[in-house]
Amino acid sequence: MRKTKIVATLGPASSSEAMVEKLILAGANVFRLNFSHGTAEQHLALATRIRATAARLNTHVGILADLQGPKIRIACFADDSIRLQIGDSFVIDAGLGSHQGDQYRVGTDYPALVHEVQAGNTLLLDDGRIQLHVERVEGEQVVTRVLVGGILSNRKGINVLGGGLSAPALTTKDKEDILTARQLEADFVAVSFPRSAADLEEARTLIRATGSKAAIVAKVERAEVVASVEAMDEIIQASDIIMVARGDLGVEIGDARLPGVQKKLIKRCRALGRPVITATQMMESMIGNPMPTRAEVLDVANAVMDGTDAVMLSAESAAGLYPVEAVEAMARIALGAEQEMEPVQPRWRRESSQADHSGRCMALAAMTSAFSQDRSCGIAVLTNQGEAVIAISRGGLHNPIWALSDNPQLLNQMTILRGVTPIFFQENAPQPHHEHLIAALQQADQLDGIHSLLISRLDSLEGAGHEDVCRLVSLSGVAHQPVPAAPATVAVSHSH
């Protein structure tokens, strides 16, 4: 069974009920709704479609609402586009009208640009395809010289090499979209371009004020966020989940630094107990081709072997010709990479934020016990808030892990965790008899090849009490049996 999860972006190529079902069956675990496109009504209808399809398939699927954030852009050209040549003079003019751009200048939707750049800066337009050297700033005009030319069309993004633009992480549109995310009961809300922990705390406050319990995803896109280990750790610890958003991040830090920064972010996320998603252009060629390139195969496999919880498809599944094939290919590559990984001693790093917690000590005991029993030992975690499951899943185990809860949204949030299968399970008592739990897993067809089961409840870790229990149960000779009276309701999230 594949452990690495797949996040698939929905769009024009994949929004029908039939396509949503095909993507789930192909291996999608979480669907991303890109709030940079579409209306609130369209997102609500799509979320309803996802929930209905997942219920019909008796599975758990997460929904990630991705806020647009403060994308800084040029304005429009009178003729829609121009061609810039190396050495041309070109002006970004904050005082120019929105459709008055020409061969020599264009407006911008970010008037503060003139206060935040200086002579010597390099501006990167259209994800770095166009590069401009800033010669001087005069009033409302940024005067530049073209370093890398090409076709420049309306509304392309502006970045500064090395970062430094201070646009706030949450725009007026984002704040409206947070209300939409609450209406559609999003399991995750992604914050674009956060600069610091304060940006994420503002987002968390606004999201919680709506009544939403969505997990907060920090999209790492700014150079200043990865300028040091301390800066990385600040963002990681302020979030619930990290997304390595390689598009804008790669533009700001340069492609030479990007691989090392990606690896470091994944490593720090695992050390600090945060799930991590690796995103952007992972299978880009599959927008128009039915098979990935070898470079894309290695890119996905490399992220899997580094320990990412999830890999993400953007335009490949939203607008490409082969969305189902892209998910199938990603699932196949992830599984193959996992099978090539050698079993390791469970990694347990005590960071200051994790120190001296009895629940985490029990999680370590659970991991060590399971590891000593090899892959035929599974771990069943009874959870109310998810912290215990996250702690155990951080250990780099090859053992299957099941998260059992009667909280549907919590189980949807578990769909992002590497190696974790969420199962809806209604307990009959505070400590249900282990036969009841085993029967529920059998009913969900989860115990094939499993010879022993470590049943864990880590209440102290989740702030739900002080009862931490780990019980190792042999499944030898246990016959398949129906769920006992006072039945458990079971729904399972499959990773193909």
Task: Give the CA-trace dihedral at 449, 306, 34, 214, to 10 degrees.
Answer: 70
> Are the C-beta atoms of 105 and 84 separated by less than 8 Å?
no
Question: Judging by beta carbons within 10 Å of its beta carbon (0-12, 13-18, 19+), is residue 429 exposed, middle or buried?
Answer: exposed
Q: Which of 182, 219, 270, 274 is catalytic?
A: 219
- Residues with Cβ within 8 Å of 453's Cβ and at least 6 positions away in sequence, in order, are 377, 378, 379, 380, 434, 438, 441, 447, 472, 473, 475
Q: DSSP letters along 230-275, please?
A: HHHHHHHHH-SEEEEEHHHHHHHH-TTTHHHHHHHHHHHHHHTT--
Q: How far apart are CA 142 and CA 165, in angstroms?
A: 14
Establish whether 219 is a catalytic residue. Answer: yes
Is residue 394 part of the annotated active site? The answer reads no
Cα separation, 101 vs 75, whole angstroms: 7
Catalytically annotated residue among 32, 71, 246, 394: 32
Which is the catalytic residue, given 53, 108, 280, 415?
280
Helices assigned H by DSSP within 349-477: 358-372, 387-393, 408-413, 434-443, 459-462
Phi, psi of 397 (to 5 degrees): -75, 155
Catalytic residue among 2, 49, 71, 73: 73
Name residues whose C-beta falls within 8 Å of residue 67's C-beta, 6 or more positions apart in sequence.
35, 170, 174, 177, 178, 181, 189, 190, 191, 192
Do residues 169 and 70 lie in contact, with contact meaning Cβ atoms separated by under 8 Å? yes
Is there a catalytic annotation at residue 222? Answer: no
> What span, in angstroms and rounded, lies between the C-alpha atoms of 376 and 404?
19
Would residue 347 show up in a list of annotated catalytic residues for this protein? no
Q: Which residues are known to be catalytic?
A: 32, 73, 219, 280
